[in-house]
Amino acid sequence: MNALISLTLANIRSFLRDRAAIFWTLAFPILFVILFGSIFSSDGPNAFDVGWVDQDGTPASAGLRQGFEGTGLLHLTDGDEQSTLAQMRDGDLDAVIVVPDGVGEVLLPPIGAGGLVGASGDQPVSLLLYTDPSQQTTSTTIQQIVGQVVSVTNQALSGRPPVLAVQPQSLQTADIGAAAYFVPSILAMALMQLGVFSAIPLVEQREKLILKRLGATPLRRWTLVSSNIAMRLLIALVQSVLIVGIGAALFSVTIVGNLLLVAGFIVLGSITFISIGYVIASYARTEESANALTSIVQFPLMFLSGIFFPIDFMPDFLRPIATLMPLTYLGDALRQVMVGGAPFAPLPIDALVLTGWLVVSFLISARFFRWQ
C-alpha cells in the first residue's frame, strides 16, 4: 500500500513537472472547449420559438397571447399540447406554453396587450411552461420573459390577489444545442487521449530501463499498473472538472443527469482507454513508434466517433466503423448522462461496449506487454 501511494505520488509529481504533458492533457482540451464554444454558440436567436396551446379559447386567453407576442421576444406557434410537445422534443420549439381552461374566468375582458382588467378569483390559474433545463440559457430566459408578462398581468389587476401563475415543466429535447453537444464530446475526447497517451510514458520507462530497474525491486507489477491507473484517473477527474466547469461558466452547459452515472462513465471510459494505451505499449518498441501508434489510434477515433458531429451526418460507408469505435459509446453515454442528449445507443449498451473493449484490451496487454 505504501509503495502504491508513493509510486502514484511520484507519477503525479513527474506529470506535474512535464510541461508538454500538462499542455496536452489539461490545457489542450480546455482550449478546444473555448474554441468550439465560440465557433458554435454564436449569439442565440432573436426570438424564441414557443408553442402556444390555448385550451381556454376565450378572448381573455387571446389577449394573453397578444401580451406574449408583444414582448417581441417570443415567436408563438399554435397547436395542441401533444403536437407542440412533440415538435419541442424534436428540437423545433424552444418551449411550450399551455393555457389551461379557466383562464378566461379569472381574466375579464381584455383591454389591450399587456393591460388587462380581471375579475376576482380565489385560486390563481397556472400556465404550464415547458422548457429544457439542459439548455440553461434558453430555458431561464424564456422563464424570465413569461414570468415578466404574468407579473405585469397580475399588476394590472391591482388590488386583487394574483390570478395567474406559472408552473414550470421540464422536457428533454433532442436538440441539445451545439455547446451542450460538444462539451461532453470534448470530455470524452480528452479522456480518450489521456488513456491512449498512457502508452508513451510506459514505453519511455521501458526504453530507459526504468521498468527493468523497478523489476529488480520487490515492487509487484500489479502495484505498478495500479499506480499508473490511479494517477490517470486523478488526472481524468481534474480534466472533467475543468471541462465541465468551463462549459458551465462560458457556455451555460450544465449537468442535468445523475452525477454518479456521469462519474461512473468517466471512470469506465478512462480505464477502457488506458487499457487501449497498454495495448499500444505492448506493440511499440520505441518511444517514436509509440508516438506514431497513438496518433494512428487517436485520429480515427476522434473523427469517426461522432465526437464533433452526430453519426447521422456521416456518409453511409463510415457508419459501420463509427458503430465499432469505443469513443462513440463514451461520447454517447456522456452526452446522455450530462446534458440529456438523444441516445445513439441505450446506456447499458454504451457501458457494455466500453466494457467489451476494456476486457479485450486487458487480455491483449496481459498477454503481450513486455516489461523490458
Q: Which residues bind another protein (CB under 8 A)?
A: 2-3, 5-7, 10, 13-14, 17-18, 208-210, 212-220, 372
How near is the Cβ of 270 to another protein at its closest, in Å?
A: 22
Q: Closest approach of Cβ 201 to another protein, in Å?
A: 10
Whether residue 327 contacts residue 188, with contact meaning beta carbons closer than 8 Å, is answered with yes
- Which is closer to another protein, CB of 125 or CB of 231? 231
**Looking at beta carbons only, is 1 or 249 nearer to another protein?**
1
318 CA to centre of own chain: 24
Measured from the CB of residue 183, what is the shortest distance to another protein in angstroms? 32
Looking at the chain, list the stretches that DSSP marks H as alpha helix, in order from N- to C-terminal side: 2-16, 19-22, 28-40, 59-70, 81-89, 103-106, 136-156, 177-196, 199-207, 210-215, 221-251, 259-283, 287-303, 319-322, 326-339, 347-368
Of residues 5 and 35, the one with the C-beta less far from another protein: 5
Q: Which is nearer to another protein, 14 or 155 (CB)?
A: 14
d(CA 21, CA 238): 14
Tell me the closest approach of the beta carbon of residue 283 to another protein, in angstroms: 20
Closer Cβ to another protein, 7 or 330, answer by number: 7
Task: Rank residues 4 and 261 by Cβ distance to another protein and give the closer one.
Answer: 4
Separation of alpha carbons 221 and 233, rounded Å: 18
Q: Indicate if the alpha-carbon torsion angle 284, 286, 287, 292 is positive or negative.
A: negative
Closest approach, Cβ 279 to another protein, in A, equals: 24
Q: Are 269 and 191 in contact (CB under 8 A)?
A: yes
CB 92 to another protein: min, Å: 54
Closest CA to 243 of 294, 202, 186: 186
DSSP string, 152-166: HHHHHTTTS---EEE
Q: Which segments of 157-220 does DSSP mark as H helices, in order?
A: 177-196, 199-207, 210-215
Q: Which is nearer to another protein, 214 or 230 (CB)?
A: 214
* CB closer to another protein out of 26 and 129: 26
Spell out the SS3 assignment of 111-132: EECCEECCCCCCCCEEEEEEEC
Task: Return d(Cα 139, Cα 173) in angstroms, integer.
Answer: 12
Secondary structure element (H or E) that encloses residue 47, with its range: none
Residue 219 CB, nearest approach to another protein (Å)? 4
By CB neighbour count within 10 A (0-12 exposed, 13-18 middle, 19+ buried), where does 313 fall?
exposed
What's the closest the beta carbon of residue 16 comes to another protein, in angstroms?
8
